[in-house]
Amino acid sequence: MQYDRFESAATQEQGQSALRRGEILAAAATLFAEHGFHGASMRDIGERVGLLKGSLYVHIANKDEILVEIVGDTARRLNAAVSPVLLATARPSDKLRMALKAHLLFASSNQNSMFVLQHESKHLTGQPHMWICEWRLRYQQLWWSAVDVGVRCGDLRQDLDIACATDMLLAAANLNATFDMTSDTGAVADRRWEVLRGGLLP
Amino acid sequence: MQYDRFESAATQEQGQSALRRGEILAAAATLFAEHGFHGASMRDIGERVGLLKGSLYVHIANKDEILVEIVGDTARRLNAAVSPVLLATARPSDKLRMALKAHLLFASSNQNSMFVLQHESKHLTGQPHMWICEWRLRYQQLWWSAVDVGVRCGDLRQDLDIACATDMLLAAANLNATFDMTSDTGAVADRRWEVLRGGLLP
DNA sequence: CCTACCGATCGGTAGG
DNA sequence: CCTACCGATCGGTAGG
């Protein structure tokens, strides 16, 4: 493809707009996480990126699209970070331990958008709402399968309730750690795995 | 106290209004759980109890008061259901197992208001917001103490990270079980406790 | 990217 | 408990 000065200018403009779009999505994720989708206005989002609300529509189609983009992108990236771990060839218990760490690591560096994915995607409508429901199921099944294999091959407890154990693992993964300064995310993952692995009783 | 016909009439009116108020709070809890505090309008709430939105203000002061009432009442009743179990004189592991069951039993018969307590109380402002933050801390500490005693007296694993274990217990308690027909709440509590108690590995 | 505007809806009130 | 209304703000658009 030829990049003459006009195309180059067009590409630059596209790049600028894509950057702006990214800023807007990041600002929206922060505000949606704090005030909820309906509690954060286009005015609020504009203010956070130094634009008047009308100018936002140069970069995004409407408010719903912002939510779709945040939730969809976050779900896709979380999946990309965790699914390779769970689909690898390894001991199920090792895969689960590492998947927990991968999920928590992703969550700790995407706190706002992860919160939106968890608690605000219910405000999606139509197709996007269906997509995210299906995504959630697929993501659960990914974990479920690893637990299932683990029980069948004796790597995990034989008498384990597989669905319940999967729920508990996902709960540990989705638990909003206050990712504080005193301990890095990896350590949080290790502590949670230690409780889940060995249980509460001696 | 004398109940002449006038006082009786006044009492009846009070009773009627209190009933209406209860209906309104229940309707609001359902709508806040489904659409969020800002996503459910006074119009929606009125419709659900067969009133026009203006008429709601006979029974409640404003929209914020509805949220305060739902969250405050639910927190108080949850505490009343669970704290006696955790404060009793018994083996810590038994108390935790029973507290998990008590919490889940309460949650299963208060699904809407529990959801509002968990996810919409962030929209409270001023004093009520402070109250609920403090309540949450107290409720956590209640569980934390039982875990702490359990570890100290050897009833629970000695090498347990107490804060982390408490988080996992509360996660198991707050996990939104789809309380379906195939299994009662008690069974869900038993399965969760079994995973937490014995751990994932053989 | 801003100015200026749109119709719709918001929470809430007065008067009966 | 309803009718009729209030000012404010909502998401979104046209025109420059």
The share of chain B scoring above pLDDT 70, in percent, equals: 92
Tell me: pLDDT of A137 over 60: yes
**Nearest C-alpha of chain B: how many angstroms from A162?**
10
User: CB-based contact (8 Å) between B152 and chain A?
Assistant: no
Q: Which residues of B touch A155 (CB under 8 A)?
A: 201
Give the residue-averaged pLDDT of B58-86. 98
Q: Determine the nucleotide nearest to A24 by Cα–C1' distance.
A: C1
Q: Which residues of B touch A164 (CB under 8 A)?
A: 188, 191-192, 194-195
Chain D positions with a protein C-beta closer than 7 Å: 1-5, 9-15
What is the secondary structure of chain B as a DSSP string?
A: ----HHHHHHHHHHHHHHHHHHHHHHHHHHHHHHH-TTTS-HHHHHHHHT--GGGGGGT-S-HHHHHHHHHHHHHHHHHHHHHHHHHSSS-HHHHHHHHHHHHHHHHHTSHHHHHHHHHTGGG--HHHHHHHHHHHHHHHHHHHHHHHHHHHTTSS-TT--HHHHHHHHHHHHHS-----TTS-HHHHHHHHHHHHHH-S--
Q: Do B201 and A160 touch (CB under 8 A)?
A: no
Residues A94-110 have pLDDT tens digits of: 999 999 999 999 999 99
Q: What pLDDT was estimated at residue A26? A: 98
Fold of A1-60: Arc Repressor Mutant, subunit A (1.10.10)
Chain C positions with a protein C-beta closer than 7 Å: 1-5, 9-15
Q: What pLDDT was estimated at residue B118? A: 98
Which stretch of A11-15, A193-197, B101-105, B139-143 has the lowest confidence by average pLDDT?
A11-15
Domain chopping of chain B, boundaries: 1-60, 62-202
**Nearest C-alpha of chain A: how many angstroms from B11?**
39
Predicted confidence band at A161 (pLDDT cuts at 50, 70, 90)? very high
Fold of B62-202: Tetracycline Repressor; domain 2 (1.10.357)
The mean pLDDT of chain A is 93
Give the residue-averaged pLDDT of A21-41. 98
Q: What pLDDT was estimated at residue A180? A: 63
